[in-house]
Amino acid sequence: MYGNYLDDAAKIIAEKREENLKFEHARLTAEEKDDLLLKFHPDRIKEQFTELKIGPNKGQKAPIELAQMLQAKPRLEPEKIDLNHIDYESDVLVIGGGGAGTSAAIMASEAGAKVLLVTKLRVGDANTMMAEGGIQAADKPNDSPAQHYLDAFGGGHFDGKPELVYTLVNKAPSVIKWLNDLGVEFDKMPDGTMVTTHGGGTSRKRMHACKDYSGAEIMRTLRDETFNRADQITVVDFTAAIEIIKNEKGEAAGAVLMNIETGEIRIAKAKVVIIATGGAGRMHYQGFPTSNHYGATADGLVIAYRAGAKLLYQDSLQYHPTGAAYPTQILGKLVTEKVRSLGAKLINKDGEVYIHPLETRDVNASGIIREVREGRGVKNDVQDAVWLDTPMIDMIHGEGTILKSIPAMYNMFIKYGIDIRKEPILVYPTLHYQNGGVEIDKTCHTNVANLLVAGEASGGVHGTNRLMGNSLLDVVVFGREAGIEAGKMFKKIKLSKELSLQHVKDFEKERSAAKIKGNAVSPKVLPTYHHGNPEFEKEIPGATL
């Protein structure tokens, strides 16, 4: 039990559980959804955004925290970097070691490319590893990529780039087969048929999962395959890319790297550069907690932007509706949507089911924020929240379902004495996903020649809201597409003889002309939780105030 004043609050939920279990809340109308989002979604709070003064997206809005990084001082001084001293040379440079980066490296190596994969932490230290609920694919007889397209495009408020959504859904079945063949242990029936479930905003059961360790299982498999290709893929870890290098034609031709432990600078030269650096949760936009891994600091957006790459929907973030809100030790940790797809309902302090549990994520996040702001949230000393009534799951599907289907959730809470089989849990939105990013086409090209982007660092795939299960799909589909494209490109490109950081100098001039003030430097590389202690800077070269 909670063992405090929350026990009494939980009793209200227990008393109404049988009644609530039978109650089915109607889906909101389009008008009701729009009204809820307008009033309560964090992306609609105008004062939390600012206009970009420089760069390819000048005049557009961005979150205040991201704008600061996009327009901050470069971490390096170009005139002090010796571009003639090459430390690494490869056909394809992949920046990022998550699902997109490893998928890209695997496919590029399959095409015969010599690949250098650099990652600022370790391979697998990524949001991919932390994804839980599953991966979408329309591979059942009652479903189709066309139906998946309608769900994904509509769920993204019809803002997705059609060719990207088309690629996402049509490549999905073959990606599931590819992962399965590599060794991913998907949940299956005794006859080998893959188990599929619903997710928020899906009209068919197309969520493939590995219990609630889906991302970890996929990442394990991709990491193993990457290391199995050591003859063609060189991995350099604990190394961040802090600037793109161009050639005399203005094409991407490598990157300046920094060892995050020592601060040492290294130069990587390549024919093709793929950015797969993931998200930005550790920027803690608007002070929200996050479900993201430690390295999610929008680095890819910063270095691509400084190199001249356009961003798309950089003002759109996803706040996952169900982040853990109690106890403190797991604040912001993801409570997978699979919990709701199995039947757990969202309930306010009065014991009311106030919304359908499988509305899209932005709608459910806004609904929770509304309940809390209007006084129907559950007050506690960590984060005011609503209940997610997890005991309903075993009541619906039979005793043992929670332990079988969502063991990670059970294990996360039982450490703190909360048994989700018997007690509801407290949830509140957590900063979860970067909907926008670097604008790409269907083969991951940006407007900068020889610079590709894949995964969460890209923008346009999900529009301005992402459906559950389309992120793991995105990173593998477009990671593979980037690797396949790079595998074609490198054969036609010669390694550049002249390398340049002129674009960084030009950026500095632009900053000066726009009179941008402040001492912030970017990319951020690592988040800081030291509350302004400058001594911390001496300990971790990659950290920024």
112-159 confidence digits (pLDDT tens): 999 999 999 999 999 999 988 899 999 999 999 999 999 999 999 999
- Average pLDDT (188-213) is 93
Around 77, how many Cα atoms within 13 Å sit in the side-chain half-sphere?
A: 2
4-18, 227-241, 526-540: lowest mean pLDDT where? 526-540
pTM: predicted TM-score of the whole model, two decimal places: 0.93
Question: Taking CA 426 as the corner, what is the angle to CA 289 and CA 26, rounded to the nearest 5 degrees?
Answer: 105
The amino acid occupying position 326 is Y
Query: Given this model, what pLDDT does residue 536 score?
Result: 44
Written as six digits, the tokens of 182 are 């590599």
Give Cα 416 to chain centroid, integer Å: 27
Written as six digits, the tokens of 491 are 């054969």
pLDDT digits (tens, 9 = 90+) for 13-28: 999 999 999 999 999 9
Query: Given this model, what pLDDT does residue 530 score?
Result: 65
- Cα 524 from Cα 503, distance rounded (Å): 19
Cβ neighbours of 42 (radius 10 Å): 20
Cβ neighbours of 55 (radius 10 Å): 22
Q: Which residues are registered as beta bridge partners of 135?
A: 208
pLDDT digits (tens, 9 = 90+) for 433-462: 999 999 999 999 999 999 999 999 999 999
Contact of 423 with 10, CB cutoff 8 Å: yes
pLDDT digits (tens, 9 = 90+) for 293-333: 999 999 999 999 999 999 999 999 999 999 999 999 999 99
What is the DSSP secondary-structure string of 389-447? -THHHHHHH-TTHHHHH-HHHHHHHHTTT--TTTS-EEEEEEEEEE--EEE--TT-B-S
- Average pLDDT (356-371) is 95
- Average pLDDT (240-247) is 98
Nearest-CA neighbor of 107 among 217, 226, 214, 278?
Answer: 226
pLDDT band at 532 (very low <50, low <70, confident <90, very high): low
- Average pLDDT (223-233) is 98
Q: Are strands 88-95 and 265-275 parallel, antiparallel or unpaired?
A: parallel
pLDDT band at 504 (very low <50, low <70, confident <90, very high): very high
Q: Is the pLDDT of residue 545 over 50?
A: no
- Cα 2 from Cα 459, distance rounded (Å): 41
Query: Given this model, what pLDDT does residue 518 score?
Result: 86
- Cα 435 from Cα 419, distance rounded (Å): 33
pLDDT digits (tens, 9 = 90+) for 30-72: 999 999 999 999 999 999 999 999 999 999 999 999 999 999 9
Nearest-CA neighbor of 508 among 5, 78, 104, 158?
Answer: 78
Q: Is the pLDDT of residue 223 over 90?
A: yes
The amino acid occupying position 519 is N
- The beta strand positions in 292-391, using DSSP E, are 311-312, 317-324, 346-347, 386-388
pLDDT band at 412 (very low <50, low <70, confident <90, very high): very high
- Cα 379 from Cα 385, distance rounded (Å): 7
User: Mean pLDDT of all residues in the chain?
Assistant: 95
- The beta strand positions in 162-287, using DSSP E, are 196-197, 207-208, 233-236, 239-247, 252-259, 265-275
Q: Is the pLDDT of residue 538 over 50?
A: no
Max alpha carbon distance in the chain (Å)? Answer: 74
Give Cα 129 to chain centroid, integer Å: 10
pLDDT digits (tens, 9 = 90+) for 335-349: 999 999 999 999 999
Cis peptide before 523 (omega within 30 of 0): yes
- Average pLDDT (535-539) is 45
The CA-atom distances, in angstroms, between 11 and each of 16, 17, 417 are 9, 10, 17
Written as six digits, the tokens of 543 are 């950290």
- Residues forming the active site: 320, 340
Cβ neighbours of 390 (radius 10 Å): 27
Q: Is the pLDDT of residue 98 over 70?
A: yes
Surface-to-core class of residue 24, CB atoms within 10 Å of its CB (0-12 exposed, 13-18 middle, 19+ buried): exposed
The amino acid occupying position 108 is A
- Cα 345 from Cα 17, distance rounded (Å): 10
In 192-345, which residue ranges form alpha helices assigned H by DSSP? 214-228, 299-306, 338-341
Nearest-CA neighbor of 382 among 416, 346, 423?
Answer: 416
- Cα 186 from Cα 447, distance rounded (Å): 37
Q: Is the pLDDT of residue 542 over 60?
A: no
Q: Which residues are registered as beta bridge partners of 248?
A: none
Place of tokens 């106030």: 354
> Which helix (H) or strand (E) covers residue 73, if one does?
strand 73-74
Residues in CB range of 293: below 8 A, 6 or more apart: 121, 125, 126, 127, 129, 130, 278, 281, 282
- Cα 436 from Cα 464, distance rounded (Å): 7
Q: What percent of the chain has pLDDT over 70?
A: 97
Q: Is the pLDDT of residue 1 over 90?
A: no
Nearest-CA neighbor of 432 among 462, 391, 477?
Answer: 462
Query: Given this model, what pLDDT does residue 535 score?
Result: 45
- Average pLDDT (385-405) is 97
Nearest-CA neighbor of 341 among 357, 324, 321, 362?
Answer: 357
Q: Report the interhelical angle of 502-513 vs 299-306 (nearest 10°).
A: 90
- Cα 194 from Cα 207, distance rounded (Å): 10
Query: Given this model, what pLDDT does residue 133 score?
Result: 85
- The beta strand positions in 114-193, using DSSP E, are 115-118, 135-136
Query: Given this model, what pLDDT does residue 543 score?
Result: 42
Q: How many residues does the chain have?
A: 545
Query: Given this model, what pLDDT does residue 529 score?
Result: 84
